[in-house]
Amino acid sequence: MAKEFFQYPETAPLFDLLEEVTRRSGVSRAIAFEDFLTMSVCALSGGRMEDLYLQNVAKHTAGKPGKRGCDTLARMFAQLVVVMEQDTREQMKDILGDLFQGSISYGEHGLYLTPMPICELMTQLTVGVSSSADQPEISADDAPPGHSEPISDAAAPDPISDLSPRRVHDPCCGSGRMLLAAAQNHRHWEFVGQDVDLRCVRITTLNLAFRNLYGYVIHGNTLAVEQKLIYRTGFDGRGFVREIPLTACPPAVQAEVRQTAAPPMDSDEIESVPDNKRPQGQLRLF
């Protein structure tokens, strides 16, 4: 069996608690981790995902109070909150991604997360550092879609979504490290991530939500222009996460996630394209 490996010392205590969950609940480590991610997202939703929470916690309720898997899952969540609160704006640690890669995926199907220093370098090369030029006037075209009739909470237009003048999209976000690296210099931006792996989608959602970063995290295959599930992050007066339909996203976000990756361009083609329309690598500004 592969040996566990972690980049951050804060990850090891979470791993020990995860192992305790597997023993108490009699489930595999992978299932315990996936349930922890799901329940954590539900816990940050402000009560909007209670059915999903109860469905997942049911696997972990056997035994005496204090000795159940759900009790350890609660301790894991508390430990994660403590670790997140130790973050600084200049160094956002991807503890959940570290735990995922070092004890769950082991690089399955080539799933290796880019080291954070490389993410920071790539982000600097792609989006640079903050400046007054980051804050252009907001266009009416970016406003959330209007609604003439009362709508559900999940589909409500977001009054905060267009206070952020710039957005950055990572179409294969993994655990959201590129977005975190961008947030270290551009915290006021909105962050859009998409990934085909639901575990990664929920890790990215938690990485943004715990830091109250506003964004959209989509579960789906970018190349197939697929959107199975969308989480909106950022405090809305009730919680830090909610599930929304694509139609509730601002038009600019809808257009961005509905387009496929552009084909490679040669140097002559790139020179003929305006600077703000040129390929930008993995991260895309819009």
100 and 164 both lie in a single domain: no
> How much is the pLDDT for 137?
41
pLDDT band at 157 (very low <50, low <70, confident <90, very high): very low
> How much is the pLDDT for 15?
97
Residue 171: pLDDT above 80?
Answer: yes
- The CATH number of residue 224's host domain is 3.40.50
* Token pair in block for residue 254: 């809808």
Helix (H, G, I), strand (E, B) or coil at 66: coil
* Token pair in block for residue 76: 């894991």
β pairing state of 215-219 and 229-233: antiparallel
93 and 219 both lie in a single domain: no
123 and 70 both lie in a single domain: no
Mind listing the pLDDT tens digit for each residue in 106-115?
877 667 899 9
Helix (H, G, I), strand (E, B) or coil at 81: helix
Is residue 151 within 8 Å of 259, Cβ to Cβ? no
**Range(s) of the domain holding residue 51:** 11-109
Q: Is 281 exposed, middle or buried (0-12, 13-18, 19+ CB in 10 A)?
A: exposed
Mind listing the pLDDT tens digit for each residue in 215-233?
999 999 988 888 999 999 9
> How much is the pLDDT for 226?
87
Please count the structural domains in the chain. Answer: 2
Q: What is the helix (H) or strand (E) element at residue 52, kind and residue range?
A: helix 50-57
Longest Cα pair distance anywhere in the chain, in angstroms? 69
pTM: 0.82
21 and 73 both lie in a single domain: yes
Is residue 45 within 8 Å of 97, Cβ to Cβ? no
Residue 207: pLDDT above 60?
Answer: yes
CA proximity to 210, closest of 202, 218, 200: 202
Structural domain ending residue among the three candidates 109, 142, 176: 109
69 and 122 both lie in a single domain: no
If you average pLDDT over every residue of the chain, what do you get? 83
Mind listing the pLDDT tens digit for each residue in 50-83?
999 999 999 999 999 999 999 999 999 999 999 9
118 and 218 both lie in a single domain: yes
Residue 122: pLDDT above 80?
Answer: yes
255 and 118 both lie in a single domain: yes
**Euclidean distance between CA atoms 30 and 38, whole angstroms:** 12
> How much is the pLDDT for 261?
55
Mean pLDDT within 7-29: 96
Mind listing the pLDDT tens digit for each residue in 236-260?
999 999 999 999 999 999 999 888 6
